[in-house]
Amino acid sequence: MGDTINEEEALSTGTATPPEPLLRELEKLTTRYPTKRGALLLMLNRIQEWRGWIAPDDMRLCGELTGISAAEVWSVVSFYTMYRTRPGARFPIGVCRNIACWVQGSERVTAALAEKLGCAPGSSSADGKFSLQEVECLGSCGSGPCLEIDSRYFENVDPAKARRIVDALAQADGDPVRALEDAARAVR
Ligand code: FES
């Protein structure tokens, strides 16, 4: 076996470098705020959408682009629980379980996802592609049931929509950002 690794391995080990279009997008984000550091959270979101987690090189890159130290970037990344610093499921699904979503049927959405993925909340699908979690209020209470995948919200989700989202993501074999856009289109 040779030394080359495929794209999925490169993403999960942190050796992949952001593709040119993403790099350009990150640079552009820094021009949208009075100070470059104002773009940091958006940059981290976009990187996590692409890689599935945030690698040490990503933090260095964000530091270079925003003019702050990698240590400061790390302090931001480690403060927010939404950021992952280790590879995990490619598509972590968080279903809001708080009252507004609950009265609108979030339990049925969670049950449908658990059945579809073959895993209970708090665990991952057998292929490691998805994880399922019940989370606290996502701040979109008027549009429940609401779920979040890689900082992207899906609102007014019912069991059928939840299954369609998983189907769209399961078919993805490359860019996870595009996969999430496909999933959003599938439930529009
Ligand atoms: S209760 Fe679900 S988003 Fe607030």
Is there an atom of ligand 1 within 6 Å of 117 CB?
no
Same domain, 101 and 135: yes
Amino acid found at 60: R
Q: How confident is the model at residue 168 (pLDDT cuts 50, 70, 90)?
A: very high
To test ligand 1's pocket by mutation, which of 95, 98, 133, 157 has the most ligand atoms within 8 angstroms of CB?
Answer: 98
Structure-model confidence comparison of residues 55 and 11, the more confident one:
55
Distance 111 CA to ligand 1 centre (A): 17
User: Is residue 95 domain-shared with residue 179, that is, in the same domain?
Assistant: yes
Give the CATH number of the domain where residue 158 resides: 3.40.30.10
Q: Report whether residue 44 contacts ligand 1, using a CB cutoff of 6 Å.
A: no
| 59 CB near ligand 1 (under 6 Å) | no
Atom of ligand 1 nearest to the CA of 106: 2
In the predicted structure, residue 43 carries a pLDDT above the cut 80: yes
Residue at 85 is within a domain: no
For the chain, the average pLDDT equals 89
Same structural domain, 99 and 158: yes
DSSP state of 22: H
Q: Atom of ligand 1 at shortest distance to CA of 99?
A: 1
Instruction: Sort strands 123-124 and 147-149 into parallel, antiparallel or unpaired.
Output: unpaired
**Beta-strand (E) ranges in the chain?**
91-96, 123-124, 130-135, 147-149, 152-154
Evaluate: CB of 141 within 6 angstroms of ligand 1: yes
Tell me, yes or no, whether 72 and 104 share the same domain: no
Whole-number Cα distances in Å, 119 to 6, 93, 116? 27, 12, 8
β strands within 85-139, DSSP E: 91-96, 123-124, 130-135
Helix axes 20-29, 56-66, angle to 10 degrees: 40
pLDDT of residue 7: 61
* Residue 99 within any structural domain of the chain: yes
pLDDT digits (tens, 9 = 90+) for 88-125: 888 999 999 999 999 999 999 999 999 999 999 988 89
Residue 96 Cβ < 6 Å to ligand 1: yes
Query: Does residue 104 line the site of ligand 1, with CB under 6 A?
Result: no
147 lines ligand 1 (CB under 6 A): no
Domain with 56 in it: what CATH number?
1.10.10
150 versus 143: the higher-pLDDT residue is: 143
Given the CA of residue 97, which atom of ligand 1 is nearest to it?
2
Q: What is the pTM of this model?
A: 0.69
Q: Which residue has the higher pLDDT, 133 or 176?
A: 133
- Compute the distance between CA of residue 154 and CA of residue 151 in angstroms, rounded to an integer: 10
Residue 63 banded pLDDT, cuts 50, 70, 90:
very high
Q: How many residues does the chain have?
A: 188
Ligand 1 nearest atom to the CA of residue 140, by list position? 3
> Is there a single domain that holds both residue 118 and residue 179?
yes
Return the sign of the alpha-carbon dihedral for residues 116, 121, 124, 129: positive
